[in-house]
Amino acid sequence: MQTDSGPLVDWDSDLCDCFENASTCCYGFWCCPCLACTVAGRYGENRCLPLCDIFAPAALNSCGIPMFVPPAVLSLRASMRAKYGIKGNLCNDIIASCFCIWCSWCQMHRELKYQKKKPTVINVQQVTVVQQPVPTMVVQQPAPTIMMESRPAPPYYPNIK
């Protein structure tokens, strides 16, 4: 499968590659909500989005509605895959979001770091610019206005014979 930008690629790191970037996983282990909020913010979403994963299940369960899939991590993961052209499918995203939520946040954090470092390729093409003279326009000046003093008209006398 291909995206508009080219063939699909793998995630920069696997789901459980904690030792590839230990600082991310240590940060995620000690304060995963902070890591999740950082990932959401760096991705351009509201930093409070991951709180949906914490409060939504409790609120829905109190109303008798069971919720198994954390909505924030799933939606961000699927969006990130689509944006960066990463291989995968929604089923794998659901499994990672449900059973490895902290590893999923760490993987997305590592991917954002990788995408930030990834070089941007710019194709430069020489463009020939031809400048043509701008045609001049002839503008006719309006006739000058003659102003005269205002006087009453002389009375009219018909020729009397």
Please say if the pLDDT value at position 3 is more than 60. Answer: no
Mean pLDDT of 125-154: 70
pLDDT of residue 117: 80
Query: Distance between CA 147 and CA 18 in Å, rounded?
Result: 92
3-state secondary structure 46-87: CCCCCHHHHHHHHHHHHCCCCCCCCHHHHHHHHHHHHHHCEC
- Cα–Cα distance, 130 to 121 (Å, whole number): 28
More confident site: 81 or 13? 81
Confidence grade of residue 81 (pLDDT, cut at 50, 70, 90)? very high
Break the chain into its structural domains and give their ranges.
Answer: 2-117
- Mind listing the pLDDT tens digit for each residue in 106-139? 889 889 988 888 666 667 777 777 777 766 666 6
Q: In the predicted model, what is the mean pLDDT of the chain?
A: 77
Residue 159: the pLDDT is 67
- Predicted local confidence at residue 154, as pLDDT: 65
**Which of the four pLDDT bands, split at 50, 70 and 90, describes residue 56?**
confident
Neighbours of 73 (CB within 10 A): 26
Task: Report the predicted TM-score, pTM, of the whole model to 2 decimal places.
Answer: 0.62
pLDDT tops 90 at residue 86: yes
Which pLDDT does position 76 carry in this prediction?
93
101 — pLDDT class (breaks 50, 70, 90)? confident
